[in-house]
Amino acid sequence: MYPTDPGFKTLLRSQLEQDHGFANYQGLSRKHIFDSVDASLSHLGLDYIDLYQIHFNKEIPIEKTIEALHDLVKSGKVRYIGEL
């Protein structure tokens, strides 16, 4: 499918409007990060995620986000973290 195809905008809009449950769609609060990781683990059928990356969110203090990410590593749900 190409951007010039008639259904492209409809497909793109439908994907953007969906609530994917990803942390960056929901915010980077501790609750949303943990909920997102748990949903990903369940969806993928995995015990842990090798690399969990997030985009910076200026609305949540970075200390809170880093603390939550650190706790995910300590819990064994995530091996490594990254921030884009």
Q: What integer pLDDT is reported at residue 2 of this predicted model?
A: 55
In this predicted structure, what is the pLDDT of residue 58?
79
Tokens of 55: 């985009």
Please report which confidence band the pLDDT of residue 3 belongs to, taking 50, 70 and 90 as the band edges: low
Q: pTM to 2 decimals?
A: 0.66
Residues 3-23 as b or e (16 or more Cβ within 10 Å = b) = eeeeeeeeeeeeeeeeeeeeb
What pLDDT, on a 0 to 100 scale, did the predictor assign at position 20? Answer: 47
Structure tokens at 29: 């609060």
Q: Convert the pLDDT of each residue in 18-74 to its tens digit.
A: 444 444 555 788 999 999 999 999 999 999 999 999 887 778 788 888 999 999 999
The position carrying tokens 């939550």 is 68
